[in-house]
Amino acid sequence: MSGETSEQGKYVNPSGSFERDQNYLSTRITADGREGYPVEAGRYRLVVSRACPWANRAIIVRRLLGLEEALSMGVCGPTHDERSWTFDLDPDGRDPVLGYERLQEAFFARDPEYPRGITVPAIVDVPSGAVVTNNYPQITIDLSLEWGEFHREGAPQLYPERLRAEIDEVNDGVFRDVNNGVYRAGFAGTQEAYEKAFTRLFARLDALSDRLSRQRFLVGDTITEADVRLFTTLSRFDPVYHGHFKCNRQKLSEMPVLFAYFRDLFQTPGFGDTVDLDHIKRHYYEVHRDINPTGVVPLGPDTSDWWAPHGREELGGRPFGDGTPPGPPRPEEVVPAEHVPGHPVPA
């Protein structure tokens, strides 16, 4: 699978419901180093796959906060086997900083008997070669709160103290019913489990649509952690979840408010420029052979309308608050042009 664990972490309980293994390495990298890993520029490497929605969150937050110089990034390919994500995009199939062929090596450097799934995102301590954490919800929060010394000038406040309780509440519902809800539908082992997940997913999307019909962003008048977490699921909805995971009451493009909200974020620097549509589709359709036995990757959908005007400015709000948009991606981190949404679907 992606992010949450690799394929070995997928579990369907006796009732047919998908269960996510959420037992992550919870060690934190903090400004004061209280858990043995102090924030230091150049010491750590963020390992991601652009295919994975959980890793995509960390890519976006790193971009928005301007942490590229302080925290390097290794990018795995879009597919993996039962053992691990691999660095097949790099010369000779090895990460140029860590020297690893597989992310699994960093987990075994931490614990030779590591028993769980090998997940992205993961932050690796470069000197030791050992993974520090793969606790993806905490990683993005800590990039905001613990890495402040290295934020760019004009970095937005993605997790402001005055809004944290509301952000946490919104994130909780979005995780249960949307981020994880699409997986609960897609991997359901019974009709009953699927219908329950499907119903909860679209009930939550309807509620979010109602909320966003009155305000530009999920919490407050600026982009926050909550928007990042919803965006990565929405960006995969029509290309993957609608068909592959049977989340097909409507496409995102058929939900006017949510689609306009999505386009607003997609067209914001730091969001759309992290989306690799080729990697996303190849991952889900090639790896999930239990759902898609042939491994055939669909050519669609047409995503040219992701660039259409969204009109969300009429609701007010300031995407970056008192801050500024991030600059362009680093040249080595630019998504290949042919992988960027908006290219025409072959006739």
Nearest to 45 by CA among 73, 15, 65: 73
Residue 52 bears catalytic tag = yes
Half-sphere exposure of 99 (CA within 13 A, CB side): 7
Report how far residue 2's alpha carbon sits from residue 280's, in angstroms, rounded to the nearest whole number: 10
Among 196, 199, 237, smallest CA distance to 53 is for: 237
Residue 115 CA from chain centroid, whole number: 24
Task: Name the catalytic one among 24, 100, 159, 183.
Answer: 183
Packing angle between helix 225-234 and helix 136-145, nearest 10 degrees? 140
Residue type, 264: D
Residues 6+ apart with CB under 8 A from 162: none
d(CA 161, CA 178): 25
Structure tokens at 201: 């997913």
Pairing of strands 72-76, 44-49: parallel
| Phi, psi for 102 (deg, rounded to 5) | -130, 140
**Total Cβ atoms within 10 A of residue 58:** 28
Active-site annotation holder among 24, 44, 52, 136: 52
Residue in this structure with the two tokens 């052979």, named with its chain if needed: 289
Query: CB–CB of 158/225 below 8 Å?
Result: yes
Q: What's the token pair of residue 165?
A: 């309780």
CB 326 within 8 A of CB 273: no
60 in Cβ contact with 231 (< 8 Å): yes
| Enzyme catalytic residues | 52, 183
